[in-house]
Structure formats: C-alpha cells, structure tokens
Structure 1
Amino acid sequence: MSTKGKVITCRAAVAWELNKPLVIEDIEVDPPKPGEVRVKILWTGVCGSDAGAMLGKFPEAHFPFVPGHEAAGVVESVGSDISEFKEGDTVVPLWLSQCEQCDFCKSPKTNVCGKLIATSKLGVMVDGTSRLRCRGKTLHTFLGVSSFSQYTVLDGSAVVKVNPSAPLDKVCLIGCGVPTGYGSAVNIAKVEKGSTCAVWGLGTIGLAAVMGCRDAGAARIIGVDVNPAKFELGKQFGVTEFINPKDHEKPVEQVILEMTGGLGCDFTFECVGNINTMKSAILGSHLMWGKSVMVGVAPGGHEIPVEYKAIWLGRSITAGLFGGYKPRDSIPKLVNQYMDKKLSVDEFVHHTRSLEKINEGLDLLKKGETLRTVIKMH
C-alpha cells in the first residue's frame, strides 16, 4: 500500500532530555512539502556527534529531538516540485547540504552550503517547521537529518543518489565519519609523500585521517590515544608509531619533538574535539611549515590557548567540515571508490544492533569499545 502523501507512523529513537538514554517511540512523520524528500532509513551509524548532542555539547541540538545523521536508505516519496529523485532511489542523507545555487556552492574555495545553515541549527526545515511529532509534541531534527527514525524528511539539497548495488550497512558511514577524516588528510591538509604526520584520537574519524595520510604517501604516521588497544587497531589503517599520553609525564608535543629530531610533524590532525589536544597538535607541528587541521569539534565558546609566537615562524592552523568534500558531488564517487576496493569502509564497522538496542551502540562508543556500531532500522 502506497504511503505517498500520507502521514507515516514509524519507530524512532527520541532524545527527550539532556544526558538521558534514547527512548524508542512511535512517531509521526509528515509527507514532504515542495522541495523536500521523505526517505526510508535502512541503516544508520552511531557517531560521536550524536552522543555529544545528547550530552548538550552542541547548540544545534534542541530537545526533544531525533538524533542521527550518518545513514543510507531509499526514497519513499518526494515533494511536488522535486524531479531529481523518485520513489525507490538509493540515497545517502546529507548533514551538509549542497544546493548548487548559493555563492558558497558556486565557489571552489569551500564545500559549505549556505542554504540550511540557519534552519538546521534550529532543528527545523527551511519553512521553520518540523515534520516529526510524538505524543502530540513537535520533535526537532538533528543536523537536518534525524536518521534514528525509520522515516525522515530532508531538504532536496541534503540528499544524494548513490550506487544501488552498494551495501548500505557500510555505505552509511560515507555520510559522515570516513570522508570527514580521510578528506582532512587528502583535501584539507594535502598531505605530501614522504611526510611525517600525527593524529590525535584514533576513533573512526582519526583512523580515517590516518588512512588518508597513508594513501597520500606519508612516511611516518604517529597515533596519539589514551587507549593502548588503539595501537594494534591503528596499524591496520597505517599508524607506524604510537603515543599514549598516560605513559609520559611530559606533554605529548614534547614527546613528538623528541621523536622528530626537535622539528615536529609536517602535518597534524586533532580528531578529539578538545582544546588541550588541539594545542598539543599545533605545538607538535613543524616550527617552520607545520600544518595543523582541527577535525574534532570542541563545545561552543572554547578557545585554543596557543601563544602567538607558536605560529609566528610559519606554522598554520586550519579546519573544515566533511573533509573538504562537496557532498553531492563527492559521495557517489566515494561510494564507487569503495565498491572498487579503493576506499576502506568495512573495517570501521565493529558492531550491528537493532533500533531497539541503539543505546547499546552509544554505550559501546562512549567506552571506546567500537569504531562504529551500525543500526538496522527495519
């Protein structure tokens, strides 16, 4: 029976309160309005940003809301003026839109689209309303996606078609974690062959950055993490040396300087989202030409405590969203690279859970016992 044009009742994981477990609820999902697409979510990854939002680390999360932003599924129905998508198309939702019409989208200097910046921060659609409800209350969206729901509605600029033959339980990770880390190395830093790199935080994004450094030809890749088990895991992705800050009384940047003859690394990547590790990554980069990429997201209002002279002689600091990839242009290509075995994704999936056990996936992530848990939504 067709659901086109009808309100769909489905299951979703709802964050009702700050720092409380998700609650599995029956929610109502309205039909898409003009310019929108309703997607049946088949698989979704559990990302650190979802956990952080539930803890109140991101102002973009407005309670109550449905988390989730790293997903894959199929188009259920489209708004009246949508011609690019049709029912049954295999798609990846985008937390970073690409409208192809704004000044940002037309520029090769950025991959950030201006269309949904304001509304996605408020947890609503472009018209200022939500398509999700539960127990008579409006539910906010998260990053314009809310993939912890079996169905969700997205702006047409926040959806992209991908190879229908791709395994969606793996491809969902191309919606966030893997490109964010990988692109930070190959697009933002532009890691050079023979260079020395260091990566703080060996979770999914950090190990994807390691993988990008490896594929770019880095000679040395130093992994920094407080979990000693991450060294053996990191070797699979390209880590050549490992530092556990707990094993040293001196700051990590001092350890790195000693490992590099007092010079520092050509490229450093902070993938934790902590201002102290950000400082360490900057000071651990090469004094004259080191480039530090801030990949992790620190809570709003925090400042990196770095003295001006630390960058005076040539160090540079940069950051970027989604690894510098323009999502609608790049995700289909990344999926095809994965299908051609030129991009590793399977190695990041450590656990699979049902929607009813999604809190287990969050717990595994918080304990550092998984890279990604993927949730089977149907």
Structure 2
Amino acid sequence: MSSSIEQIHNVITCKAAVAWGPGEPLVLEEVQLSPPQSHEIRIKVVSTSLCRSDLTAWESQAIFPRIFGHEASGIVESIGKGVTEFEEGDHVLTVFTGECRTCRQCTSVKSNMCQVLGLERRGVMHSDQRTRFSIKGKPIYHYCAVSSFSEYTVVHTGCAVKVSSAAPLEKICLLSCGVAAGLGAAWNVADIAEGSTVVIFGLGTVGLSVAQGAKLRGASQIIGVDTNPERHEKAKVFGITHFINPNDFEEPIQQVVKSITNGGADYSFECIGDTGMITTALQSCCDGCGLTVTLGVPKLKPEISAHYGLFLSGRTLKGSLFGGWKPKSHLPSLVDMYMKKEIQVDDFITHNLPFEDINKAFNLMKEGKCLRSVIHMPK
C-alpha cells in the first residue's frame, strides 16, 4: 500500500491524476475517496491504460474537475452493503458500460446496452447521483463510471468483472475496453465469415483488434488504412495483409479497396472516430451484402451523412459498443482465451509507465507514437 494513503473513518486519501480543464495537463493530487455505498466496491487499481476515448473526452468534454481512465485492472479493497458477488482480495476488471443482468437489454441475446448501467456521462455514481471523489470537500467528477487514473476508485458492482487471480493484471487491463471492443466487433457484430474480405480504417488498438478477430475467423484479405506509416509493420503482427496510406494515392481510397477486393470488401470497419469516413467505409463495401461497422468515438460532427443509394444497393451500417459483449457474462472467457494464448494482448502494449508519467502517455497518444501505454500504480 502506498505510503501516501491513510484511512480515516473509512475515507481513503490517495493520489489521483486530476484533469482541471479541457486539454490541461493532469495534476497528481491527494484526493479523498468515500467508502463504497450499497452495491458498490472500492478497488485498489493495479494497472490502467490510456484509451483514445479518454483523450477525446479530456480535450473536449465540459465536466471538470475530473478523473479520467476506464481501462483498468485491480483488487477489491472493500465492499459496500448488499454486495455478495465480490469479496475483498478478488481480482477484477473495470468496465465503462455495465451489466445489471435483470433489465430488458441484459436479458436479451440481441443487446449489451444495459438500461440501468449503460454509458454514464454525468460524472456521478448511479446510486445517489453524487461523486465519491473530493478535494477538501470540493467534488471531483467520475468518468465512464470508473475513473481509474487514481490509486483507488469506487465502482458499481455491475461495472466490475471478477477474473482469475492467475491472469496478469498488468496485461489483461486492455481487455476491459479496446482489445475486447475490436474482437467483439469482428466476431459478434459483423460475424466475419471464413474466406471473406475486410477493410479497417484506423489501425490503433481497436482497429488492430478487429484485424486479429478477422484473422482468427479466416478472412482471406485484411486491408488496413492509416495515414501513419509506422503502423505498417506492427499491423502485420495482427493479420493485416495489405496496408494503404491514403497519402500515397491520388485516387479515392474506396477505389483502391475495390481494386484489391474485386469490387468491394465484404466488411468494413470505421475505427477512427471520424463520421466523415463512414461514407468512405460504406463505399468500400461490395454491393448487395457489404456491411460497415462503426466503432470510433468522434471528436467533432457526431451526425452521419450518407447517400441513400448506398443502402438501397444492399449495404448495411451497424454501430458497435464494446463489441457487443455483455461484460460480466463474457469477459472472463476472453481472459481465459488470453491465458490459453488463443488471442494476443501483450503486443498491443508499446509503453509501460509509472503513474507519475501519466501525462507522457497522453502525449504519446496525441503524437501517434503508441498503441497502448499501460500505467502502473504504486504498490
């Protein structure tokens, strides 16, 4: 336990990386963290990684001061009233979209959009609409119901998944968001068929996870589109068979893709967060049965515009949140697959950083010099 942590009346004082305003460097502050309330657990964060959506929200969202971070692993430190699923010492992954297991969506095989614990955008806890973090009485807001850029955090039990204690927490934290989201988009949302052709726009962690999923499904061609030439060699590791840098071509990228795939890909994936690319992704698909899946979180212009003819010709556009996984039901099996070496996770980790270097992780992602930076908390 960090020497900076003290417990008074079950309120913990610990260090957290606080964002005080959009785009401002995070500041390591001593924060007070309240005990877990009913159906909540308090977690000692072991490892957390920076996701692109953290960066997007940090640059643009209006709720501050805030503690970002949602892709994390840790150990249960204490439990609140009514908690029976977890015990102190359990190893867990945090998740940004929960699973209550009782609502209409959770009991449906068609959806993973929990009506009770879905995306939390207000920066407060579900149970009482209050924060658990504060500095000298001033509330510090949560992010995505997790806020893992802190030595300790409090989450609803529906936003945590118990995993095997044998799994390395410093690796599997990536399965709590990015890697799982890409694999699920390939397997659950698109249901990629063997021998099919795939094009992926954006070769970050999510896009390369789609590639990994497509490769494991036996896709014959997996085309990666990215303006960062440094992604080319790394992309091969995850199954990319053709790399396209749009800056190297004068003709529209959709035409390049059609040339490679003999008329258009069976599946296309938009993993950038640029709604303007969705039309390009749709045009890169084949007539009749082409499927486009969008996964990216846009910084600007959230509205989508596409010519109706693209759909009249038989193309389909689908959205994907967390790859269609029900986190509590499905994440343990993904961890098992990792432990059996059936899926890759380690190769996504390009940097390992101590907590005090968290701003370096943000800079690396802004500059396109990393896939995932894993931030290790003090022991």
> How do 1:28-67 and structure 2 match up within 5 A?
28-56=32-60, 62-67=63-68
Q: 1:32, 1:77 within 8 Å by CA — same for their partners in 2?
A: yes
CA displacement at 1:298 relative to structure 2 = 1.7
Residue 100 of structure 2 aligns to a residue whose secondary structure is coil
Matched AA of 1:174: L
Structure 2 CA distance for partners of 1:317 and 1:221, relative to 1, 3 Å = same
The whole-number CA distance in structure 2 between the counterparts of 1:370 and 1:266 is 29
Q: Deviations over 1:80-105 (max 9, x none)?
A: 11111111000111111000011110
Q: Deviations over 1:69-89 (max 9, x none)?
A: 000000000111111111100
Q: Deviations over 1:267-320 (max 9, x none)?
A: 000100001222211110111110000011124752222110011110000011
Matched AA of 2:122: L
Matched AA of 2:345: V
- Paired residue for 1:143? 144
Q: Does 1:17 align with 2:39?
A: no
The whole-number CA distance in structure 2 between the counterparts of 1:209 and 1:268 is 10
- Paired residue for 1:241? 242
> How do 1:263-342 and structure 2 match up within 5 A?
263-299=263-299, 302-342=302-342
Matched AA of 1:41: V
Matched AA of 2:317: I
Consecutive unaligned residues in structure 2, runs of 5 or more: none
CA displacement at 1:5 relative to structure 2 = 5.9
Aligned-residue CA RMSD (Å): 1.5
Q: 1:351, 1:372 within 8 Å by CA — same for their partners in 2?
A: yes
Q: 1:198, 1:269 within 8 Å by CA — same for their partners in 2?
A: yes
- Paired residue for 2:375? 375
CA displacement at 1:231 relative to structure 2 = 1.3
Residue 105 of structure 2 aligns to a residue whose secondary structure is helix
Residue 11 of structure 1 aligns to a residue whose secondary structure is strand
The whole-number CA distance in structure 2 between the counterparts of 1:311 and 1:101 is 35
- Paired residue for 2:12? 8
> How do 1:74-113 and structure 2 match up within 5 A?
74-113=75-114
Q: 1:201, 1:225 within 8 Å by CA — same for their partners in 2?
A: yes
Question: Aligned residues: percent identity?
Answer: 43
Residue 227 of structure 1 aligns to a residue whose secondary structure is coil
Q: 1:40, 1:75 within 8 Å by CA — same for their partners in 2?
A: yes
Q: 1:185, 1:191 within 8 Å by CA — same for their partners in 2?
A: yes
The whole-number CA distance in structure 2 between the counterparts of 1:305 and 1:213 is 27
- Paired residue for 1:166? 167
Residue 100 of structure 1 aligns to a residue whose secondary structure is coil
CA displacement at 1:3 relative to structure 2 = 5.0
- Paired residue for 1:153? 154
The whole-number CA distance in structure 2 between the counterparts of 1:92 and 1:5 is 27
The whole-number CA distance in structure 2 between the counterparts of 1:307 and 1:196 is 23
- Paired residue for 1:217? 218
Query: Which stretches of structure 1, 4 residues or more, deviate above 4 A after TM superposition?
Result: 1-5
Structure 2 CA distance for partners of 1:300 and 1:244, relative to 1, 3 Å = closer
TM-score by length of 2: 0.96
Q: 1:4, 1:76 within 8 Å by CA — same for their partners in 2?
A: no
Residue 70 of structure 2 aligns to a residue whose secondary structure is coil
> How do 1:337-356 and structure 2 match up within 5 A?
337-356=337-356
- Paired residue for 1:72? 73
TM-score by length of 1: 0.96
- Paired residue for 2:229? 228
The whole-number CA distance in structure 1 between the counterparts of 2:292 and 2:96 is 24
The whole-number CA distance in structure 2 between the counterparts of 1:98 and 1:349 is 27
How many residues of Structure 1 are paired with residues of Structure 2 in the alignment?
A: 373
The whole-number CA distance in structure 2 between the counterparts of 1:345 and 1:295 is 19
Q: Which moved more, 1:228-237 or 1:140-149?
A: 228-237
The whole-number CA distance in structure 1 between the counterparts of 2:100 and 2:305 is 36
